[in-house]
Chains A and B, each alone.
Chain A
Amino acid sequence: MFGLEKRDTSMLIIVAVLTMFAPFILNPFPEGSALAQFNAGYPDLMQRFVIFGIFAIGFNILFGLTGYLSFGHAAFLGVGSYSAVWMFKLLSMNVVPAIILSVIVAGLFSLLIGFVSLRRSGIYFSILTLAFAQMSFNLAYSVLTPITNGETGLQLTLNDPRVLGASATADGSIPVTNLFGLEMRSTFELALGPWNFQFNAGYYLCAFILLAAFYLTIHIFRSPFGMMLRAVKSNQQRMNYTGLNSKPYTLAAFVISGMYAGLAGGLMASMDPLAGAERMQWTASGEVVLMTILGGAGTLIGPVLGAGFIKYFENIFSKINDGVLHSWFSFLPDGMENAMVTLIHPFVGKGWHLTLGILFMLVVIFLPGGLVEGGQRIAAWIKRKRAGDDAPAGKTEPAE
């Protein structure tokens, strides 16, 4: 189907189901129940899942296939965001031109940076991209203030000269982003008993774009181009002595992944029309590296999982405070309750980054293939176990 192998089609279907039914899947606990804080089916959070998913998928085309570790990809995301906001300010509140412009601008920007950075490889490449990204960040904060609005960040105002559309709505407020009239913030709520599911227009736009991006990525992975990129990672020497010039391949991969980042940035601005320099900081670049590694670099579905995983736990963990912890452990005797809370306290709430750092280290140390490898190992273990159990028993009880 769709010109894909069977396995890839099923992968695409899995991602499609996950994204389309996310408002249900992420909201399994009824409102008001003790577990409701683990729900994640809110529009802004779900938007973040898919937007970072797109960002990570794109990053993986570069890092996962060619092995070039860029520490500056957040710059492209930032550039995408700025372009989109400018489009809203100058042209129209429709998200389509904004997203198109952000992809183009990020593509051009990554062409420039990639052209220079890819003249070196290994650690030198990482440092060069880092240097470029920090440079863009510093510039956005200082001299480029007329374009970026410096520390405050670029926002819409009531007197933007919008060519197609009004500067302000009839009631004097700033117009909202829309897709041919469909407001991105509009949300349909479905109340089913104690459950409350939210279907947000912006989320579904992002989800469809994620699916398209994922579909394109599958094609890239399975194409001769994708194979060449893996060849670059495996042995550049042989590549050169096979009459292939590795530079255009790596540059094309760099630009493609930069455009994905720009797309993510443009979508981010389309959901919430503002852009700040901190989106370009190197810690933001580190975050996408982390998502890709955690999910499984070089695998198709890994980055999507990694992005979802990190954004989910960031949201949930940082919401847990001492009050919540006390309520969890209230069944314990007082002394033990306090001890448990003290023990867990550093890792949740504001301490989420500590958990993230530890998780990151554990993954790199024990599971370099990320969640995908973890899943495969568990699957293999179950298979072995089943085979082991079956053999001596000779018969099997119906398991389900």
Chain B
Amino acid sequence: MGILEVKNVGKRFGGLQALSDVNLSVKENTVHAIIGPNGAGKSTLLNCLVGKLIPDTGSVMFDGQSVLGRAPFEINQMGISRVFQTPEIFGDLTVLENMLIPCFAKRDGAFELNALPSVQGQKDVLEKAEHMLEEMNMADKRHMHAAAMSRGDKRRLEIGMCLSQEPRLLLLDEPTAGMARADTNNTIDLLKEIASERDITIAIIEHDMHVVFSLADRITVLAQGTPLVEDDPQNIRGNPKVREAYLGESA
């Protein structure tokens, strides 16, 4: 049994069958990549996992519990964190405040009317956030407005925010999309470090084969809304079916 079990998931938008009969098992403490050409249903699948979409059929189990019908915030509290394709951070807040919010969420739960004592007075959370910033090499930027940072830094911050919640499963949606080569390599290094040092499972959706093959322990290829093949990276590389899916029949 994997930590994430997707069984027979199907999703239809009007006339388009976006996902059909998707089965997927992500083993604990591995990096599992989901790849596939444009329109293969990768993002739809991800949205089904985090509660943004509800599949028409099938089941999604996380650590033995169904995630279906739960709101995104509840799924997050089960231990699933998500990194978006374009970094979703609190742009109007400072970097430190960005980091403080997940730390408070971790301590106080979904809602706490923590309205009288000041943020500065709550040392435990403050220390945790500062520590996380240091780990992300962002301590010097703590008073910057998050929106003013470069894309690579925003990505780093977003990943840090997710990690500070100590999730068991980290979902990454094309984490290097639109990044310069140097930023991409930095992000790969960061993710490698996270995967090796932490007790965490990572599921990653990616376009960039360079990223996929430098990170993944296991790869699922999605085509036209259904898994084509699931295998180890070295076997995927040579698989003719995969090539066909990416390049069309002419290949």
Contacts and interface: CB of A to CB of B under 8 A. Distances in A.
> Is A–B contact present in the complex under a CB 8 A cutoff?
yes
Contacts of A244: 73, 101, 105, 110-111
Given A224-B108, A227-B93, A234-B91, A240 B73 contact: yes
Contacts of B90: 230-231, 234-235, 238
A241 interface: yes
A225 B121 CA distance: 13
Interface string A187-229: 0000000000000000000000000000000011011111110
Contacts of B50: 241
Interface stretch (A83-91, A245-253, A300-308): A245-253
Nearest to B72: A240
A231 B71 CA distance: 18
B113 A252 contact: yes
B92 A230 contact: yes
B119 interface: yes
Contacts of B91: 234-235
A245 B89 CA distance: 16
Contacts of A240: 71-73, 76
B104 A224 contact: yes
B205 to A, nearest CB: 15
Interface string A1-16: 0011100000000000
A152 interface: no
Contacts of B165: 242-243
B152 interface: no
B247 interface: no
A233 interface: yes
A243 B111 CA distance: 9
B100 interface: yes
B105 A243 contact: yes
B122 interface: yes
B56 interface: no
B115 interface: yes
A157 interface: no
Interface in A1-42: 3-5
A237 interface: yes
B76 A230 contact: no
B115 A226 contact: yes
Contacts of B125: 224
Contacts of B112: 224-225
B143 to A, nearest CB: 14
B146 to A, nearest CB: 9
19 contacts: A5-B118, A219-B115, A220-B115, A222-B119, A224-B104, A224-B117, A224-B119, A224-B122, A230-B90, A231-B90, A231-B97, A237-B84, A240-B76, A241-B84, A241-B88, A242-B105, A243-B77, A244-B73, A252-B113
In the A-B complex, the 10 residue pairs with the closest CB atoms: A243-B76, A225-B115, A248-B111, A234-B90, A234-B92, A222-B118, A224-B114, A245-B110, A240-B72, A238-B88
